[in-house]
Copies of this chain bind each other. A is one copy, B any other.
Amino acid sequence: MSILDAFFAGSRLALSKVISHIENNGADLSRLLPVLYAHAGKAYKIGFTGPPGAGKSTLVDKLAALYVQGGKKKLGIIAVDPSSPFTGGALLGDRVRMQNLATDENVFIRSMATRGSTGGLAVSTSEVAMAMDAFGMETILIETVGVGQVELDIADACDTTVVTLVPESGDSIQALKAGLMEVADIFVVNKADRPGAAKMVSELNIIIDLKRQNTGWELPVVATEAVNGKGVDELAAKIAAHRAYISSDSRADQHRQRKIRATLAHVLDKEMKSLIRKRFLNEEAILDYIKRIQDGSSNPYEIANNILSSLKQDKP
């Protein structure tokens, strides 16, 4: 039986192998991904982003437990940890808390380090989610540390994006400036027992009120204490409400199109990057470019420009 046969027969080991294959950019990936794509599209993907130390892992942990207790089996969890080269210990520590979940045969947990991923973070995360989706996971929780471009990519890849802040995250105005309002479907103020939490919740609500757009979705702010489970049921309710909102007759098609658009852009970027490496940055060409740059007859910008303008499209 091939790995793919085992995968579609429900083998968790096969799922694990398929994910590794994606992460390692393995052979024949260009044939595997369309197959997964054809079988995916049924899972509901919830993204969690926010600063390091905001308690995202705990929040995901508790929410996952709530889902499993509530009968939402077939749960996938992806923990993307861009800082894992440094905080490997913390990562393991987090995941140890998930041991109860990990032994549940319907829950599949995968930690991903982003280091060395040639295709970039977003592509492989969304492809790993796609693999879980094709495998039959009904709900997929994706947790990542929000850093620059990352949270935008997560918002593209997920159906509902939860931005988690803590009172220590500082000024709420900062969240507004940084464009988090455009990314978040739900705000969580975690560690709500700490000083400044209530102030942060009310500030966020004021900002949301000021920036209110007539999209029909009122950005909620949920106060949680993930560590003892407080507010997690309310968060689950808001996620369900957001799901109902984007699944409504008038929204569903728009939402699907946004997802397709994002996938297309990601796939093209990744493939193009790989094509450039193969076609233009072979060793012989590079040495020639370096020579021309070193003798001053050209520069990297001119060379890039020449390469790109030499590309003609065969058919429109």
A residues whose Cβ falls under 8 Å from a Cβ of B? 30, 33-34, 37-38, 50-52, 54, 82-90, 113-117, 120-121, 145-152, 165, 169-171, 174-175, 177-180, 256-257, 260-261, 263-265, 267-269, 271-273, 275-277, 279-281, 286, 289-290, 293-294, 299-305, 307-315
- Which residues of chain B come closer than 8 Å to A289, judged between CB atoms? 260, 264
Least Cβ–Cβ distance between A23 and chain B, in angstroms:
12
Are B34's CB and A299's CB within 8 A? yes
Bound-state Cα–Cα, A314 to B272, Å = 17
- Which residues of chain B come closer than 8 Å to A174, judged between CB atoms? 85-86, 88-89
Are B263's CB and A170's CB within 8 A? no
Are B86's CB and A305's CB within 8 A? no
Pick from A150, A268, A280, A303 the residue with the most CB of B within 10 Å.
A268
The 5 closest A-B pairs by CB, nearest first: A85-B178, A89-B170, A114-B148, A51-B86, A88-B174
- Which residues of chain B come closer than 8 Å to A261, judged between CB atoms? 286, 290
Give the number of copies in the complex.
2
Are B148's CB and A304's CB within 8 A? no
Bound-state Cα–Cα, A83 to B150, Å = 10
| Selected contact of A276 from candidates B180, B257, B272, CB within 8 Å | B272
Bound-state Cα–Cα, A8 to B300, Å = 21
Nearest to A273 among chain B residues (CB) is B269
Pick from A51, A83, A301 the residue with the most CB of B within 10 Å.
A301
Pick from A121, A148, A308 the residue with the most CB of B within 10 Å.
A148
Are B312's CB and A264's CB within 8 A? no
Are B177's CB and A83's CB within 8 A? no
Are A116's CB and B179's CB within 8 A? yes
Bound-state Cα–Cα, A148 to B312, Å = 34
Least Cβ–Cβ distance between A45 and chain B, in angstroms:
16
Are B51's CB and A83's CB within 8 A? yes
